[in-house]
Structure 1
Amino acid sequence: MELSRRYEGSHATASPSGCFMAYIIDSKLRVSLIYNLEDRPDFPIKIAPKDITAMKCCSDGMHIVLVSNNLIEVCSTDRDSPGIRIDNGGRALGRMHAVDFVKPHHLLTCWEFGTAKVWDLKTAKAIDLPDLKTAGTGPPWQERPKPNPTVHTLALLARPAAEDTLMLYFPELCKSTEPIKLPTVDAQSISWSPDGCWLAILDTPTASPCVHFYTPDGLLYKSYPTEAMQGVSHGLGIKAISWSARQVALSRFDGKVVLLDNITFREVATIEHTTTIAQSALPEHQRAPIWRETILPSHQRYYSQATRPVSPPLSRAKDSIEPAELGVAEVQISANGYYLATRDERMLSTVWFWNIYTKSVHSVVIQHQNIRQVHWHPTLAPLVMLDCGEGIAYLYNLESHDPPRPVNVPLPGSAKLSWIHTDLDTVPAVLAATKSSFRILYPEGRDCLVNADQMESRLSAEIYEEGASEDSLADILSGRKPMTTRLSHTERLAQEVDEADGYDGAPLDDTFREKRRMAEEEVDPLDDSQIF
């Protein structure tokens, strides 16, 4: 167990690759390597730190976007590359609502009144995407996880003329499909399956209990519940969707979680929470452990197995005279799709862990405080972290016979906990961040996270594959190499092919990998034959 020292800085954000840490300090953007936070070049910014509402890093760490109500600033970690600023002007479109990176080098910006644009960070040109929905309960757009090798796909929900439509946009081609009319009353969210083979659109629960599943080219495949099931009462319907590689979990307002098969979308199981856990019908060796947290007067925390039957404490998110929330508060599926974590709105301090394949309870954890969020580790499937808003990381390995392990991360205020996401490391690291400072927790030690040589080779490979500078950003940050501007891998490869063939026309677009074939024939962005 190792804990970094406290670092001053706001909006601390780890890159999606888990290699970099970015934060704001002294009115500048500071970027450092996860394994060496002392190497930290600063970049000047125009937005006042107090006005920043969000900060995000792109997948390769080469661009970082800062968001405020009136200005969006894209900072490049390559000092030779100019930054990009998007001014809101007279605010005729409303405030800046949301911003997201779209691979490889595009930025989606959305205003509160529904206007959206996709910006090419290389050319600083934008394409308008009108009538984007902004009032749903979930994201109105999502990038396809495993796209066509040459063309990325962005799915968006729009509402022109009081009708919901689906639009598929392809940033590299600057093209989109014709709007696809949806059977929804008021679509709330959109989500891709992990393999990118299915697209789910959730309707408003007050008018329709349905979720609709589409193919990647926008064809309606199936709706749940089906017309044959419409006679059965489904109450307020579906609250949220959570995908795994083989199944999709639908959390409902009636307190149930329905598991559907990922191919036929038929029901395979229904999970229901009970206010009393007895398991009296099971043999003793098959009963799931129930861990209850206890806090001593000395503030020491420990877990003991509760005696059955046990009734988890009833609780609410906050005391008020408003009606209590209904249904399932949270559904999270582990990285390998083997385990499912659920919480009920009536018992917010209790989390159930289920074995999806055996359709049985694995264990139950009852916390002293309400759980703020459940975080599965992105690669270590049985490892989960519970965040109760106390600045304590509760680490629980479902494949061990031990209870959760509380690890205190001392910071002023209520620290928000999150895993540092990386799909290449097998050792966990936790980011604890408040509004003014942050720390990094290494449960198995900092040296075990990844050594410098491995990190730099990974960074070089990632940046090389993405077509960015050949110089490793790790070398640049540590000062071993100067910042230089070179041709990307695809640009150099295109140049070599052109020289060999005597090509003297316009250079081929470096956003496409297969240069010769794609220069001769038009790409079909909806050609997904390789995934079936």
Structure 2
Amino acid sequence: MALSTTCQGAHTTPSPSGHYLASIPPGTNKLRIHTTHAPDRCTDVSLRISAKDITGLQWNSESNRIVVASAKLIEVIDLDDADHRIRLDNGSGGFGRFANAEFVGSELLLVVWEFGKAKLWDLTTGKGVDLADVKGSCAGARWQLRPGREGRTGTLALLSRIGAEDVLNLYLPATQKLVGAVKLPTVDAQSIAWSPNGRWIGVLDVGTASRGVHFLTPDGNLYRSYPAAKESETLGLGIKAIVWAQNSQLVALTRFDGSIVLLNTRTFAPRAVIEHTTTIDQRANTSSELQAPIWEETVPASGERSYAVVPQPFSPPLSRTKTTTEPAELGIAEATFSCDGSWLATRDERMLNTVWIWNMATLNAHAVLVQHSNVRKLHWHPTRPDELLLDCGEGIAHFFSPISSNPPTIIPASISPTATLSYLHSPFDSNPAVLATTKSIFRILHPSGQLEDPPTPPPHREPASSSSSNPAKAAAEAEASFISGASEDSLFDVLSGRKPLPPKTDQSYTERIDFEVETEEDTSTGVDDTFREKRTNTTKPQQVERGVVDWEDDSEIF
């Protein structure tokens, strides 16, 4: 077991490749990029957005761009070319604050305002295309990208509401065109979810709807609804969430009554119903050899944690033992499949410290884990189907393997109990890592030990705009080369250790440009050009070519 050094940083976000981490150092207007192998190896990039205003960070699919979002300004940082900046200004804020900014693939950015307006920006051309307004009152995902083949961007499904009807809008991000707008048979749609193989769209209706879930084909045609009309219930709450297995062979529908319905994905007929009972007793139905072991964690006064098998019948402690005026949560708190769909881990709102592990081959309970504290989150390893991480909000990682007869392994992360634990996708499957984060610090836990050699970074990719086709940028690069004596290294080269970090002697080219831009903004209005290093000698600012934009929308990308 190995622990990294504790690093300062807020909004810590790992890259999809697993090689890098992005964070915001406290008290600075900078973006810091760390290597996951050695988080103390890092480099900073200056930002226009104040640290206190940042609402989130997100990487693109190729792990070479980062979007830094705030309520009024969005910045996109290109790690292949730190001088290449794209900024989206909210203007007068006629549609409210920026509520969300997410990459769609690698070159497109989906921006949603707080009042529901959505726009898809092409980061290569700087053009924005209006999408249908996003539905506001939803409990889950309001848009989702269809899982596609590597290198291809799938269909973007977006949920909106026109009058009293829910509409599912389907867009092709590559062409930025609407290919379908389907009226949904829902009362008040709450979320949408693509199946991992991209063959189905699950639409979840409000819990009081008699037909709680609708399954549609990729082009928006309704295929099945559950429950069917003749099986629809008239009283009580119905479906709470849709959970797809990663192999797309099963879909789990969690219910407000504490049960889970498993449907096959060919006909969407029920395959099994899982029940969570407040008293676990398998003696009458199963032989002692096939009974699910119940592992209970105990913490004595000495603080040494351990697990012991408890005999059946056993009643897990209830989550709420004291009366309160707060309404109690109902149904299933969490359900998650392993990466190959062979295991299902679940929690019930009535017993939040208890985790059930279900075998999808036998459809029986395989093990029950009773923790000392309430479980906050369950995480299956992204590539190992037999490794489950339990985060109990104690700054301690609990690892459990369903194929082993051993109890969970306890590994302290040596960080604040408020830290959030999650698996960090690693390029090396033999060396899984866990990311522990708080609001201001983070560290990485290596349960199997740390690799001696640092991971190989992704191949360097040249910027989309070459200097030969861009005279203004070529002149800027020539000036930077003349001043520094050599062209600037990419952040990938510095982080990977292939080139040392140059000593800080004077203002960098980027900092000088930032200073010039800030100085000119005091006496002028508007935007100079699409990218800030491409400047002209005209007195009137150059306006960016606009896409399909409403006249009230004064947001600009530059």
TM-score > 0.5, shorter chain as reference:
yes
Identity of aligned residues (%): 49
| Cα distance in 2 for residues equivalent to 1:250 and 1:81 | 48
1:12 corresponds to: 12
Which deviates the most, 200-209 or 107-116?
A: 200-209
2:23 corresponds to: 23
* 1:388 maps onto 2:389 in alignment: no
Secondary structure, counterpart of 2:407 in structure 1: coil
Q: Is residue 380–residue 426 contact of structure 1 (8 Å, CA) maintained in 2?
A: no
Change (3 A) 1:277 1:150: closer
Q: Is residue 118–residue 134 contact of structure 2 (8 Å, CA) maintained in 1?
A: yes
* 1:187 maps onto 2:186 in alignment: no
| Cα distance in 2 for residues equivalent to 1:482 and 1:222 | 59
Change (3 A) 1:223 1:424: farther
Counterpart amino acid of 2:237?
A: L
Unaligned runs of 5+ in 2: 467-488, 502-558
Q: How far did residue 321 of structure 1 move?
A: 1.1
Which deviates the most, 131-140 or 331-340?
A: 131-140
Q: Is residue 243–residue 253 contact of structure 2 (8 Å, CA) maintained in 1?
A: yes
Change (3 A) 1:15 1:320: farther
Q: Is residue 413–residue 434 contact of structure 1 (8 Å, CA) maintained in 2?
A: no
> Given the two structures, how large is their TM-score scaled by the length of structure 2?
0.80
Q: Is residue 211–residue 229 contact of structure 2 (8 Å, CA) maintained in 1?
A: no
Counterpart amino acid of 2:194?
A: W
Q: How far did residue 192 of structure 1 move?
A: 0.6
Change (3 A) 1:9 1:385: same
* 1:478 maps onto 2:496 in alignment: yes
Q: How far did residue 418 of structure 1 move?
A: 0.9
CA displacement, residues 423-457 of structure 1 (integer Å, 9 cap, x when unaligned) = 76343100001111100000001117xx43x633x
| Cα distance in 1 for residues equivalent to 2:88 and 2:23 | 20
* 1:126 maps onto 2:128 in alignment: yes
Change (3 A) 1:328 1:150: closer
2:217 corresponds to: 215
CA displacement, residues 249-285 of structure 1 (integer Å, 9 cap, x when unaligned) = 0000111100000111110000000000111121111
Match of 1:326 among 325, 330, 348: 330
Larger radius of gyration: 2
Q: How far did residue 233 of structure 1 move?
A: 5.2
Correspondence 1:331-342 to 2 at 5 A: 331-342=335-346
> Given the two structures, how large is their TM-score scaled by the length of structure 1?
0.84
Counterpart amino acid of 1:125?
A: K
Q: Is residue 80–residue 492 contact of structure 2 (8 Å, CA) maintained in 1?
A: no
| Cα distance in 2 for residues equivalent to 1:110 and 1:6 | 34
Q: How far did residue 397 of structure 1 move?
A: 1.3
Change (3 A) 1:148 1:384: closer
Correspondence 1:263-282 to 2 at 5 A: 263-281=266-284, 282=286
Match of 1:305 among 305, 309, 316: 309
Secondary structure, counterpart of 2:42 in structure 1: coil
| Cα distance in 2 for residues equivalent to 1:92 and 1:50 | 23
How many residues are paired up? 474
Structure 1 residue runs of 4 or more that deviate by more than 6 Å after TM superposition: 466-469
1:253 corresponds to: 256
| Cα distance in 1 for residues equivalent to 2:490 and 2:361 | 43
| Cα distance in 1 for residues equivalent to 2:193 and 2:321 | 26
CA displacement, residues 366-421 of structure 1 (integer Å, 9 cap, x when unaligned) = 11111111111111111011111111111111111111112111224610111112
Q: Is residue 379–residue 423 contact of structure 1 (8 Å, CA) maintained in 2?
A: no
Secondary structure, counterpart of 2:456 in structure 1: helix
Change (3 A) 1:80 1:347: closer
Q: Is residue 395–residue 419 contact of structure 2 (8 Å, CA) maintained in 1?
A: yes
Secondary structure, counterpart of 1:477 in structure 2: helix
| Cα distance in 1 for residues equivalent to 2:464 and 2:128 | 21
RMSD of the alignment, in Å? 2.4
Q: Is residue 107–residue 124 contact of structure 2 (8 Å, CA) maintained in 1?
A: yes
Secondary structure, counterpart of 1:228 in structure 2: helix
Counterpart amino acid of 2:241?
A: A
* 1:427 maps onto 2:431 in alignment: yes
Secondary structure, counterpart of 1:314 in structure 2: coil
Q: How far did residue 310 of structure 1 move?
A: 0.7
Q: Is residue 298–residue 306 contact of structure 2 (8 Å, CA) maintained in 1?
A: yes
| Cα distance in 2 for residues equivalent to 1:415 and 1:429 | 15
Secondary structure, counterpart of 2:180 in structure 1: coil
Q: How far did residue 234 of structure 1 move?
A: 6.8
* 1:96 maps onto 2:98 in alignment: yes
Q: Is residue 110–residue 119 contact of structure 2 (8 Å, CA) maintained in 1?
A: yes
Counterpart amino acid of 1:477?
A: L
Q: Is residue 16–residue 422 contact of structure 1 (8 Å, CA) maintained in 2?
A: no
Q: How far did residue 130 of structure 1 move?
A: 2.7
Change (3 A) 1:115 1:152: same
2:543 corresponds to: none
| Cα distance in 2 for residues equivalent to 1:191 and 1:300 | 42
CA displacement, residues 36-77 of structure 1 (integer Å, 9 cap, x when unaligned) = 323312100111111212111112221111222222222221
1:515 corresponds to: none
